[in-house]
């Protein structure tokens, strides 16, 4: 077990209820809730990246885990 590795949690998407993997809970969401990639794209289109960050947190930490892993791996 590597204690330096962040623990991946599967939160629930606050929009559609789909699994929403995250390393950390974002403070603007209820405990156990995040956002899935599909709804994230919708939020970005509708409200923009800044609002996404404010509402749902940072990519690669509070949501969008797979994408950021793929780009840094
Ligand atoms: Zn969703």
Which pair of tokens denotes residue 67? 């994408």
- pLDDT category, 5, cuts 50, 70, 90? confident
Single pTM value for the model? 0.82
Give pLDDT, residue 1: 57
**∠ at Cα 46 (54, 30), nearest 5°?**
40
Q: Report the separation in Å between the CA atom of 2 and the middle of ligand 1, taken as the mean of its atom positions.
A: 30
Ligand 1 midpoint to CA 73 (Å): 25
Please identify which residue in the block is written with the tokens 């794209």: 41
Give the distance (Å) from ligand 1 centre to CA of residue 30: 15
């Amino acid at each position: 077990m590597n204690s330096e590795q962040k623990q991946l949690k599967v939160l629930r998407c606050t929009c559609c209820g789909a699994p929403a993997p995250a390393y950390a809970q974002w403070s603007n969401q209820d405990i156990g809730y995040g956002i899935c990639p599909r709804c994230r794209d919708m939020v970005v289109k509708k409200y923009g990246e800044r609002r996404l960050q404010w509402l749902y947190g940072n990519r690669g930490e509070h949501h969008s885990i797979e994408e950021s892993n793929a780009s840094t791996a």
